[in-house]
Amino acid sequence: MDIGNAFLIVNPNARKGKGREDGEKIVSYFREHGIDIPWRYTSAPGDAWKITRDAIAEGCDTIIVAGGDGALNEVVNGIMFSGREVRLGLVPIGRGNDYAFSLGIPGSLYGALDVILSGKTRKVDVGLVEKDGGKGRYFLNGNGYGFEPMVNFRAMEYKHLNGIASYVVAFLEMMVHVPHAFKVEIELDGDVVELETQQISFTLGKRMGSCFMLAPNASIDDGMFDFLATKRPFGRLSLVSAVLKFLKGTHVDDKRNFLIKNVHSGVIRVSSGDIYSHADGEVVALGEGKIFKVSIIERGLSMFSI
């Protein structure tokens, strides 16, 4: 039961504020197993990133995060930008917990902790998106553009909705004013295609938005993105049809409406239109940005896994 020199980071606002109670349960569970782990609650956006950076600088070689995909993303960036070999443990107590689904982490608090206590790790792929030549943001689950991030950002604004319900309501709101398509030139492993599209995704995990199986065949350690783009502008009815397919993952068989490929890298050059983008639900662009470079670090991170 060796988890190394570990530090625990807890988002107290996860599960609509129940994360604070979860943090105390986690610390008690570790103590029951003979581990007195130092820990902190986050207090603001970006805090998990800073805490991770400081903990690693002080010699920690294991970071455990209790939160959702957003808190996980911040910790991943803290680790990756440190350049150190650090193991990462995930206790999924967030809104979507999409990456935990692909990693196979149990949804129960103590089930997830038992995975960490087992000491077994797995090397997983890490994505990196760089906007207009900036320093970039790492991600584990996916990097999306267009309709899907707009739904995600809207769902995050709800105060009294969580999980699938928040995404469904956000989607219904988007149907009132269907987002405009944007024109892009996309370079995928050297091949160039021009599209007028409403949705582009580079995914490592299988699921987005708590219930949408955007990449049902994805693997988190095969060194490849599962790439998806709509081939044409969709109207209201077409978008509803597409979303129903996303729920089941059957869109992968619809080659007429969707461009689907396995790729190592991509470059998106925006010709016209405002583009919204996220990485694991965290903001990459809110209508701005003209060039997005997406690359993969094969098996670049060690995570506790079953």
Q: Which class is 6-122 in CATH?
A: alpha beta
pLDDT at 95: 80
Q: How far is CA 125 from the centre of its chain?
A: 12
Instruction: Return phi, psi of residue 124, to 5°.
Output: -120, 155
pLDDT tens, residue by residue, 3-42: 989 999 999 988 778 899 999 999 999 999 999 999 999 9
pLDDT tens, residue by residue, 243-264: 889 889 999 999 999 999 999 9
Q: Where are the domains of the chain?
A: 6-122, 130-300
Distance CA 62, CA 55 (A): 9
pLDDT at 57: 97
Which sign, positive or negative, has the C-alpha torsion 170, 172, 177, 183?
Answer: positive
Q: What is the DSSP string of 273-298?
A: S--EEEETTEEEEES--SEEEEEEEE
Distance CA 220, CA 238 (A): 30
Q: Which class is 130-300 in CATH?
A: mainly beta
Fold match between 6-122 and 130-300?
Answer: no
pLDDT tens, residue by residue, 108-144: 999 999 999 999 999 999 999 999 999 999 999 999 9
